[in-house]
Chain A
């Protein structure tokens, strides 16, 4: 499936990068977060485990907060919510 980036509500956006391997998920996440305003939420859906490590470290470095982490679909698909600082 192709990458999807949508507005899902007031101050809420969804980025779906399922099926993408490194470096796409972390690069799309970085680009997506750059577009958001402070306090807005990005819901990220991905299924590449190694990208998750980079995204967590990115959050730490930039000060963005991962407010939720869920696994679904046999626990290999990750659905995270990140608040832009």
Chain B
């Protein structure tokens, strides 16, 4: 039995020996994805584009599970239990991804497009942030926890996916919620009649409001003429590294310093002690730091690889690839599908849910989100959805190797939180044009300041969610304690 001393710095759990049956299961899961890659390549070599997404998804899944990487934890555990571990991990990943992204941009291989800057990002982040505290995981966190066997996490993924479909296609009375200026602006865009832009509150939100906003990166905004300066100084240093360092300094001062200095007051040496404490906070969890390192590097490399493959295959979007390969079902009216070229979560999940919804007889292709932009391809032919499925697989493999895979059915209470929180996350993700990955991680690291607006909203939402849960759990504890005095 282990006893951890109070002032222990390393909070990693000790290494373990994988049980033989878990090794077998891990190899089976890995083998499945290897077979999918090889056989699809054998059918048509252009499926390599799909396999690229798949293997990066697998790496993301393994890293997320290894480091227990979750943005919900980053915000929630700071406010709820004063634990900065995950916030530190996220900032490490942000710094690294930003440097790799800057390099990828300089060599002309970036697939990134900034999002419009507007208050909608804060609102979307706020709703998403509240939801992710209720569900216990962010969008990527819920996927990796599905790989651990958590059925609650799977409920979150399903809830958030189907909510998005409803959000982007709902019209009728919901059109009344939209300001007239949005309706008029959407109508003035001259969209094809089949898209019905004035029937669908989300179509009007996009075409009548979001599309009127401007998008930029910090590198462009500050007027750097050199691509290198714009990428490294504007996008990476100013939009990622400096904010991350300042956020970490704030976290250190507010949540880590007191515990670090406890019992060591006699050895205090001013700035050098504070810097040592800052570094101690960053390296406190080796697993988190390693996961942050791998995620940051992989996310950057992902962009390079996808751009390289696009150049090699002579395409700008996977829709062109599907057309060339003879698959035209479910493409948007522009013959495109969702193909960001980097780490993303919510849009492809919405596509998967939309495909099911369409099979049930509903038409979603009259929306901008599906009909004009992203399409609803067959999930087996959706390369970005391959990434999500492989993420679950990668997490499952890592969980099995750590003897942590367990099929866990939720209680009714947890299932309710999962579904309700998933609904909020679905609403927040569409209002914010993405989730903790698509609207925050991938944006701030590519110089897009709109990501910080979403992050601000997410943080505020996390704070509100924690306040609620503190009250809820205090009530439940009081009931449990009624049988005895404390």
Residues of A within 8 A of B (CB): 1-7, 19-24, 26-28, 30-32, 35-36, 47, 49-50, 52-54, 56-70, 74-76, 85
- Whether the pair A65, B3 counts as a contact (CB closer than 8 A) is yes
Total number of A-B contacts with CB less than 8 angstroms? 149
Tally of B interface residues using CB under 8 Å: 63
- Whether the pair A19, B11 counts as a contact (CB closer than 8 A) is no
- Whether the pair A49, B68 counts as a contact (CB closer than 8 A) is yes
Interface segment, B147-155, B160-168, B320-328, B343-351? Answer: B147-155
- Whether the pair B3, A76 counts as a contact (CB closer than 8 A) is no
Q: Determine the chain A residues whose CB is within 8 A of the CB of B153 once the complex forms.
A: 21
A60 to chain B, nearest CB (A): 6
Cross-chain pairs A/B with CB under 8 angstroms, 9 sampled: A19-B409, A21-B137, A24-B473, A35-B486, A36-B486, A66-B3, A68-B1, A69-B2, A70-B1
Residue in A22, A49, A54, A58 whose Cβ sees the most chain B Cβ within 10 Å: A22
The CA-CA distance from A65 to B193 in the complex, in Å, is 66
* B77 is an interface residue with CB less than 8 A from chain A: yes
- Whether the pair A54, B81 counts as a contact (CB closer than 8 A) is yes
A30 to chain B, nearest CB (A): 5
Select one of A1, A3, A19, A22 contacting B476, CB under 8 A: A3
* B225 is an interface residue with CB less than 8 A from chain A: no
Residues of B within 8 A of A (CB): 1-9, 11, 13, 16, 19, 68, 70, 72-73, 76-77, 80-85, 133, 136-137, 145, 148, 150, 152-153, 255-256, 258-259, 262, 284-285, 402-406, 408-411, 413-414, 466, 469-470, 473-474, 476-477, 480-481, 483-484, 486
The CA-CA distance from A42 to B83 in the complex, in Å, is 20
Select one of B72, B76, B259 contacting A60, CB under 8 A: B259
**Chain B residue with the shortest CB-CB distance to A65:** B6
Say whether chain A's binding surface is mostly helix, strand, loop, or mixed: mixed
- Whether the pair A56, B255 counts as a contact (CB closer than 8 A) is no
B234 to chain A, nearest CB (A): 35
- Whether the pair A32, B80 counts as a contact (CB closer than 8 A) is no
Select one of A20, A52, A56 contacting B414, CB under 8 A: A20
Listed from nearest, the 7 A-B pairs whose CB atoms lie closest are: A5-B480, A22-B136, A76-B406, A61-B259, A57-B83, A50-B68, A21-B136
- Whether the pair A56, B411 counts as a contact (CB closer than 8 A) is no
The CA-CA distance from A31 to B474 in the complex, in Å, is 7
